[in-house]
Amino acid sequence: MLTTCKRSWPHEHAPVKVGLIINPLAGVGGAVGLKGSDGDAITVEALRRGAVPRAEERTQTMLQSLGDDVHRFQWLCADGVMGGFLLRKLAVSHSAISGVATRTSAEDTRQVTQALLREGVAVLVFAGGDGTARDILAAAGSAVPMIGVPAGVKMHSGVFATSPRSAAALLQGLLNGELVNSVTAEVRDVDEAAAREGRASSRWFGELTVPAAGGFLQHTKVGGREDEGLAVEEIVQGVCARIASLRTADEPDRPLVLGPGGTLLAIKERLMDQTGGSVKGTLLGVDVRMPDGRWVCDVMASDLLSLPGQPLLIVGLPRQQGILFGRGNQQLSAAFLRRLERPRDIVLVATRTKIKALEGRPLLLDTGDAELDRNLTGLWKILCGYDDQLFYRVEAG
């Protein structure tokens, strides 16, 4: 059940939905020499020694660093010390899920994480340390991008921003349509008992998807600007590698649906060259490679509805209108798109130059199905090179 603390603010576009989790006891053992804060006994001892938790203070710094932009996000959090108290104190509008008012546990972190994911947050911000990152990894995997506000004792994981202010800058980049990279970062943790005995080494637990400050990559730059020809070639190679990786004995080839556009035509031509034959891809049409290798070009919406299995859609970014679905690719009907699961079944590709031309405006959806448009909104990954992805906002038109 959600309860909402309301405040109105002006905005040009729908606010980004952000989940906030504060581990209120993170960092409590550091200043008093306890090498961590995991476990009730250590927490009690740290507080007995006069320790002061840091997570809420660090989160407040992050929120205040956003300035007026803090009101352009749609905040969701657990009520109480895991987020609700702080947002209420700062008069930040938010929706609160049921939470704990005082003491918290790792299980609380995991349950709140899962609840926020069910509410459809586009990005999750958490304040804590390596133990908090482990709990969130266990609950969420890489379902949405994460931003860690560094507030713990053990900070061996790569999922944390360098400071609360840099965490705020990443959020603002996502909000304003800047070039924000999508990268994977390690979650590591140290055995605290071993650390107290002077014999510690960090252990790898997995990886989370995190945003990182972006820009134009050096290997696709000429004279300080992106060479779109080089960038398109990187995208073509990246898509072909991804398609090849899907071919396993357990999963036969899926129908490949490739949308219109110049970058997509380059991908079509490369795939067609691999199979031989004289078929030619279309620049403005939707073409399909069937599981048996046959190509069906310039298909209609009804053709896509009769495809076997679970199709993989590869689609480009429109250069001018900024509308992802509903302009120039009407063959990709709402009925077809409802068959697909994002991000598993949809690959969005574009050069950084084309993304930059949007000037921060979100990509829009106009499928004719309002519910589908809402379900497809959020932060999308855009493939910009061989192994290079950005986050970008997609909204209902």
Residue 54: pLDDT band with limits 50, 70, 90: confident
Distance CA(318)–CA(279), nearest Å, equals: 25
> Hey, which residues does 74 pair with through a beta bridge?
17
Q: Please say whether the beta carbons of 310 and 322 come within 8 A.
A: no
What contacts 9, CB < 8 A, 6 or more positions away? 71, 72, 93
Distance CA(279)–CA(268), nearest Å, equals: 10
> Hey, which residues does 149 pair with through a beta bridge?
127
pLDDT mean across residues, the chain: 84
More confident residue, 304 or 397: 304
Domain ranges, ordered by start, for the chain: 2-213, 218-396
Model pLDDT, residue 223: 46
Model pLDDT, residue 77: 96
**pLDDT over 70 (residue 338):** yes
Q: What is the dihedral of CA 358, 364, 367, 371, to 10 degrees?
A: 160
Q: Find, among 363, 315, 322, the residue nearest to 337 by Cα.
A: 315
Type and span of the H or E element at 16: strand 16-22
Residue 244: pLDDT band with limits 50, 70, 90: confident
Model pLDDT, residue 15: 83
Model pLDDT, residue 346: 96
More confident residue, 397 or 140: 140
**pLDDT over 90 (residue 215):** no
More confident residue, 300 or 152: 300
Q: What Cα–Cα distance (Å) separates residue 94 from each residue in 4, 103, 360? A: 6, 22, 24
Q: Please say whether the beta carbons of 146 and 137 come within 8 A.
A: no
Model pLDDT, residue 4: 47
More confident residue, 204 or 267: 267
Model pLDDT, residue 100: 63
More confident residue, 216 or 320: 320
Model pLDDT, residue 319: 66
Model pLDDT, residue 29: 47
Q: Which two tokens stand for residue 24?
A: 């209120």
Instruction: Give the architecture-level CATH label for domain 2-213.
Output: 3-Layer(aba) Sandwich (3.40)
**pLDDT over 60 (residue 2):** no
Coil/strand/helix, residue 372: helix
Phi then psi dihedrals of residue 273, to 5 deg: -65, -35
Q: Which two tokens stand for residue 29?
A: 């053992």
**pLDDT over 70 (residue 227):** yes
Report pLDDT digits (tens) over 125-179: 999 988 899 999 999 988 899 999 988 766 678 899 988 999 999 999 999 988 8
Residue 102: pLDDT band with limits 50, 70, 90: low
**pLDDT over 50 (residue 219):** no
H-state helical runs in 8-156: 40-48, 55-65, 84-89, 106-118, 130-140
Model pLDDT, residue 222: 43
Q: Find, among 279, 384, 278, 264, the residue nearest to 318 by Cα.
A: 264
Model pLDDT, residue 311: 95
Report pLDDT digits (tens) over 344-358: 999 999 999 899 888
Model pLDDT, residue 275: 76
Q: What Cα–Cα distance (Å) separates residue 186 from each residue in 98, 155, 204, 343? A: 30, 11, 7, 21
Model pLDDT, residue 9: 33
Share of the chain above pLDDT 90, in %: 55
Q: Please say whether the beta carbons of 168 and 66 come within 8 A.
A: yes
**pLDDT over 70 (residue 73):** yes
**pLDDT over 50 (residue 8):** no
More confident residue, 193 or 138: 138
Distance CA(114)–CA(321), nearest Å, equals: 36
Coil/strand/helix, residue 294: coil
Q: What is the pTM of this model?
A: 0.78
Residue 307: pLDDT band with limits 50, 70, 90: very high
Angle separating helix axes 106-118 and 130-140, nearest 10 degrees = 40
